[in-house]
Chains A and B, each alone.
Chain A
Amino acid sequence: MNLVARFRSWLRWIVKGQRLEREMDAEVRFHIESYAADLVRKGISQQESVRQARIEFGGIESHKDAMRASVGVRWWGELGSDIRYGSRLLLKNPGFTTVAILTLALGVGANTAIFSIVNAVLLRSLPYRDPDRLVRIVFNEPGLGLRDITYSEPEIEDLTTRADVFEQVSPMAGGSVAMTGIKQPERLELAVVGFDYFSILGATPQIGRLIGRQDYQPGFSDSVVISDAFWRREFGGAPDVIGRNLRLDGDPCVIVGVLPPDFHHPNLTVSGNVEVWAAAGFSADPFPKPIRSKRTLNAGVIGRLKRGITIKQAQARLTAVAAEIRQEFPATYPAQSRWTIEIRPLREFLVGDVRPMLLALQGAVILIVFVVSLNIANLLLARASGRQQEMAVRLALGATRGRMIRQMLTESLLLSIVGGVAGVLTALAGLHFLMRFVPLNIPRLNEVSIDSAVVGFALLISIVTGLIFGLAPALQLSKVGVSSAIREGGRGSGYSTKTGRLRDALIVSELALAVMLMVGAGLLLRTLRDLLQENPGFNPTQVVTANVWIPVPDNPDQDPYRGITPKVIFDRELLRRLKTIPGVELAAITTDVPTTNHKLNDPAGSEPLIIEDRPVESNQDLHAERTRISPDYFRLMEAPLLRGRAFTDGDGESGQPVVIIDETTARRYWLDRDPLGRRVRFGHDPAKPWMTIVGIVRDIKSDGLDVDGVPHIYVSTFQDPWRSQSIVLRTSLPAAALESQIRRTVWSIDPNLPVFGVVSMNELIDRSLTSRRFSAQLVGGFASVALLLASIGIYGLLAYLVGQRSREIAVRMALGAGRADVLKLFLRRGAALAGIGIVAGVIFSASTASLMSSLLYGVRPHDPAVFLFVPLLLFVVAVLASYLPARRATKVDPIFALRES
Chain B
Amino acid sequence: MSRPIDLLQGTLDMLILKAVSLGPLHGYGVLLRIQQISGEQLEIQQGSLYPALYRLEHQGLIASEWGESDNKRKAKFYSLTAAGRRQLHSETEKWNRMASLIASILRTTPEQI
Interface residues of A (CB under 8 A from B): 1-2, 5-6, 9-10, 23, 26-28, 30-31, 34-35, 37, 56-60, 62-64, 66-67, 69-72
Contact = CB atoms under 8 A, between A and B. Distances in A.
28 contacts: A2-B60, A5-B58, A6-B58, A6-B59, A6-B60, A9-B57, A9-B58, A9-B60, A10-B58, A23-B66, A27-B50, A30-B26, A30-B69, A30-B76, A31-B27, A31-B46, A31-B50, A34-B28, A37-B71, A57-B46, A60-B47, A63-B50, A66-B48, A67-B54, A69-B51, A70-B54, A71-B55, A71-B58
B90 to A, nearest CB: 13
Contact of B60 (A5, A31, A60, A69): A5
Closest 7 CB pairs of A and B: A5-B60, A58-B47, A66-B51, A70-B55, A63-B47, A71-B58, A67-B54
B7 interface: no
Interface centre among A23, A27, A56, A69 (most CB of B within 10 A): A27
Contacts of B75: 27, 30
Contacts of A70: 51-52, 54-55, 58
Contacts of A30: 26-28, 69, 73-76
B69 A63 contact: no
B47 A59 contact: yes
Given A56-B46, A70-B58, A31 B28 contact: yes
Contacts of B69: 30, 34
B76 A27 contact: yes
Interface in B27-43: 27-28, 31
A26 B46 contact: no
B83 interface: yes
B112 interface: no
B45 interface: yes
Contacts of B58: 5-6, 9-10, 70-72
A59 B47 CA distance: 8
A5 B58 CA distance: 7
A34 B71 contact: yes
A58 B48 CA distance: 8
Nearest to A20: B54
A155 to B, nearest CB: 73
A31 B31 CA distance: 10
A63 B51 contact: yes
A254 to B, nearest CB: 73
A183 B57 CA distance: 84
A58 to B, nearest CB: 4
Interface of B: 26-28, 31, 45-48, 50-52, 54-55, 57-60, 66, 69, 71, 73-76, 83
A58 B45 CA distance: 7
A853 to B, nearest CB: 61
Contact of A28 (B48, B50, B59, B71): B50
A30 B49 CA distance: 14
A2 B83 contact: yes
Contacts of B45: 56, 58
A59 B46 CA distance: 10
Contacts of A2: 59-60, 83
Given A31-B50, A58-B47, A60-B47, 8 more contacts: A2-B59, A30-B27, A30-B28, A31-B46, A34-B71, A66-B48, A67-B50, A71-B54
A1 B28 CA distance: 27
A5 B59 contact: yes
B29 to A, nearest CB: 9
Contacts, number: 78
A27 B74 CA distance: 9
Given A34-B69, A37-B71, A56-B46, A27 B59 contact: no
A30 B66 CA distance: 12
A63 B48 contact: yes
Contacts of A31: 27-28, 31, 46, 50
A57 B28 CA distance: 11
B84 to A, nearest CB: 11
B48 to A, nearest CB: 7
A76 to B, nearest CB: 14
A26 to B, nearest CB: 7
B7 to A, nearest CB: 14
Nearest to A4: B60
B19 to A, nearest CB: 15
A35 B28 contact: yes
Nearest to A34: B28
A67 B51 contact: yes
Contacts of B31: 31
A56 to B, nearest CB: 5
Contacts of A9: 57-58, 60
B10 to A, nearest CB: 14
Contacts of B74: 26, 30
Residue among B45, B48, B51, B57 with the most chain A CB within 10 A? B51
Contacts of A27: 26-27, 50, 75-76
A54 B50 CA distance: 14
A631 B54 CA distance: 97
Nearest to B66: A23
B103 to A, nearest CB: 30
Most A-side CB within 10 Å, residue of B46, B73, B76: B46
Instruction: Determine which residue in A1, A66, A70 has the highest number of CB atoms from chain B within 10 A of its CB, and name it.
Output: A70
Point out which of B50, B69, B71 has the most chain A C-beta atoms below 10 A from its C-beta.
B50
Nearest to A9: B58
A704 B32 CA distance: 94
A35 B59 CA distance: 28
Contacts of A26: 74, 76
Contacts of A35: 28, 46
Nearest to A33: B73
Contacts of A64: 50
A10 to B, nearest CB: 7
Contacts of A6: 58-60
Contacts of A5: 58-60, 83
A615 to B, nearest CB: 92
A67 B110 CA distance: 49
A21 to B, nearest CB: 12
Contacts of B27: 27, 30-31
A27 B46 CA distance: 13
A71 B64 CA distance: 14
A10 B59 CA distance: 10
Nearest to A68: B54
B59 A58 contact: no
A688 to B, nearest CB: 91
Contacts of A28: 47, 50
Given A5-B60, A23-B76, A67-B51, A58 B46 contact: yes
B80 to A, nearest CB: 14
Contacts of B66: 23
Nearest to A56: B46
Nearest to A12: B58
A118 to B, nearest CB: 46
Contacts of A72: 58
A17 to B, nearest CB: 13
Contacts of B52: 70
A772 B51 CA distance: 66
A58 B31 CA distance: 14
Contacts of A71: 54-55, 57-58
Nearest to B52: A70
Contacts of B46: 31, 35, 56-58
Contacts of A69: 51
Nearest to B57: A9
Interface centre among A9, A31, A37 (most CB of B within 10 A): A31
A30 B31 CA distance: 13
A66 B54 CA distance: 9
A1 B61 CA distance: 10
A71 B58 CA distance: 6
B51 to A, nearest CB: 4
Nearest to A31: B28
A223 B103 CA distance: 100
Q: Point out which of A1, A59, A69 has the most chain B C-beta atoms below 10 A from its C-beta.
A: A1
